[in-house]
Structures are given as C-alpha cells and as structure tokens.
Amino acid sequence: MSNDSIAKTLLVAIGLSLVCSVIVSVSAVGLKPRQEANAEAARRAEILRSAGLLEADTDVDAVFRDRVEARVLDLDSGQIVADMDPDALDGAATSTMLLPEEDIAGIVRRPRYVSVYLVRDGDDVDKVVLPVHGYGLWSTMYGFLALGADGNTVEGLSFYQHGETPGLGGEIENPRWLAGWQGKKVYGDGEDVRLGVIKGQVDPESPQSEWQVDGLSGATLTSNGVTNMIHYWLGDGAFGPFLARLRNGESLS
Ligand SMILES: Cc1cc2nc3c(=O)[nH]c(=O)nc-3n(C[C@H](O)[C@H](O)[C@H](O)COP(=O)(O)O)c2cc1C
C-alpha cells in the first residue's frame, strides 16, 4: 500500500487512535485507586485542619486513626445512627430537594444522612467536625466546621474546594482570616444562629462581637455566601437538632 494512499492514512490514524485510547483507559483505570486514596488523604487532612490538629509535620493517618471517629448522622432526627457505615454512605440516594425559601445556602438538595467526625481527647469527645457547603459568588464552597462538644463554640473552619476569585473571595482560604473564627459562638440564648461574617471589621468592644467575624474586603458577596452557609447548616433544617442535643448536655462519648 502506498504511503500516500487514503486507505493507509486512515489505517495509521485509526490504529494510532486505538493504541492511544487503550493507553489512556488503562492508565485511568489503573490510577483510580491511587486518585481515590489521595482524595481521601486530602479530606482527612482538611478535617484535622478544621479541628486545629494539622501541623506541617503531622502524620495525618496516625492522628486521624487515634483521634477521629467517623459516624453517620441522621439530619432529620439529629441522632447518630449506630449501624450505618460512613464509608458506605451514598448521600445522593437519600437527599431531598429544598424549597426555594429553605435553600438560603444555594445547595438545591440536602442529604438525609451525612458523615460527621468526632474528635477524641482520651475517652472524651472534645470536638465535632461537620461538613458544610454553600454557594458564594461564583461557586459552591466546600469546607469543614469544627465545634466544641458544647455544640456552640467554633474550634475552626476550613475550605477545601471553591471557585471564588483568588485575592477576593478566594481569601476564605487565608489562615489569618480563618483564625478569626476560633472561639466565636454560634447561638445566643435561643435556637437562632447568630454567627456570621459582617461587613468591615469586628469591634472587640461590641456585645455582638462574640458572634461576628471580619468581612473579606472587596468580597462582600462571598462573605454573605459564607454567612448563608453557616446559617443553613447550623440551623433547624440541618445540624440544628443535633447541636441542640449537645447544648442540652448530651454526651457523645
Ligand atoms: C473579576 C472580578 C472578580 C470578583 N470576584 C469576587 C469574589 O470572588 N467574591 C466577591 O465577593 N466579590 C468578587 N468581586 C467583587 C464583587 O463584584 C463585588 O463588587 C464585591 O463582592 C463587593 O464587595 P465590597 O462591598 O466588599 O467591595 C469580583 C469582581 C470582579 C470584577
């Protein structure tokens, strides 16, 4: 067959495509377990970060194994479900569509069961890490919020995925801004979530400062998204009933 013939050109092109597609498919399938393991390691590191347990030299697997216990929480009842495996959770299977007036965080659906992470100090649970997500200006922001065992004091917040603009809304990743969440309170005397990001800087003398976090300058819309996310997830429709149990002194140990 001549090198210039159409048949040979097609044959070479088809043959090359077939070989390349086999190489790409085999690599994708072969690397999948490693990609999943890396994603899981990154998620664990983020859980530790939110709980203030991640330093540069932290052995993530060891600390996670020693201090953290994943459990399944039924958001409808606010109860931890004893016989469900967090690793086998398929949130999409049991999620419900939110009504527009309920969906202040712009998440469209809410799963019934979510994995939460109990952080132990010896025999006692001293923190609980909750997965949270909500819409900012451009994207859905995914993070973890760590609360004390009192169900009211913020131990830390971290974000591991978002598409906000670097330097503006992207400052939600800035450790200096995230540090401003530590020690803040979620609730006052009632059930209403009071915690949120304000516009401008918090006045430490203000009686409201316990529930306020500095706004991100030039990124009020992302800041509002963070407040909406906190209000949704810590409110009645999500973790509220579970946190009410903790505030009433129920122990997780
Ligand atoms: C290219 C571009 C990217 C922006 N990205 C963000 C963002 O990620 N988050 C945000 O809140 N505002 C962002 N803004 C600014 C918003 O449009 C809006 O002006 C701002 O949120 C108002 O905040 P301020 O009242 O603190 O200035 C962006 C603006 C431009 C032009």
Q: Where are the domains of the chain?
A: 67-247
Mean pLDDT of 102-112: 96
Instruction: Name which of 17-21, 80-84, 130-134 the model is least confident about.
Output: 80-84
* Residue 191 pLDDT exceeds 80: yes
Give the per-residue pLDDT at 252. Answer: 78
| 135 CA from centroid of ligand 1 (Å) | 14
Query: 102, 237 in Cβ contact below 8 A?
Result: yes
Say yes or no: CB of residue 221 within 6 Å of ligand 1. yes
| 166 CA from centroid of ligand 1 (Å) | 11
Is 12 exposed, middle or buried (CB count within 10 Å of its CB: 0-12, 13-18, 19+)?
exposed
Q: How far is Cα of residue 7 from the mean position of the Cα atoms in its chain? A: 55
Give the per-residue pLDDT at 154. Answer: 98
Helix (H, G, I), strand (E, B) or coil at 128: strand
Query: 78, 246 in Cβ contact below 8 A?
Result: no
Residue 21 has φ and ψ, to the nearest 5°, of -65, -35
- Pairing between strand 212-213 and 196-197? parallel
Mean pLDDT of 223-245: 97
CB atoms within 10 A of CB 109: 11
Atom 13 of ligand 1, residue of closest alpha carbon = 219
Mean pLDDT of 103-119: 96
Mean pLDDT of 6-19: 93
Atom 16 of ligand 1, residue of closest alpha carbon = 219
Helix (H, G, I), strand (E, B) or coil at 242: helix
- Integer Cα distance of 157 and 98 in angstroms: 25
Atom 4 of ligand 1, residue of closest alpha carbon = 165
Structure tokens at 58: 């932290």
> Is 0.95 topped by the overall pTM?
no
Cα–Cα nearest to 227, from 164, 172, 152: 172
Say yes or no: CB of residue 220 within 6 Å of ligand 1. yes
Q: Which atom of ligand 1 is nearest to the CA of 165?
A: 8
| 142 CA from centroid of ligand 1 (Å) | 19
Cα–Cα nearest to 137, from 110, 165, 158: 165
Structure tokens at 223: 């800041």
Most informative mutation of 197, 201, 221, 228 for ligand 1 (most atoms within 8 A of CB): 221
Say yes or no: CB of residue 137 within 6 Å of ligand 1. yes
Mean pLDDT of 194-203: 97
- Integer Cα distance of 34 and 131 in angstroms: 23
- Integer Cα distance of 72 and 136 in angstroms: 27
Cα–Cα nearest to 136, from 13, 221, 67: 221
Mean pLDDT of 190-215: 96
Atom 9 of ligand 1, residue of closest alpha carbon = 169
Most informative mutation of 141, 173, 220, 228 for ligand 1 (most atoms within 8 A of CB): 220
Atom 1 of ligand 1, residue of closest alpha carbon = 165
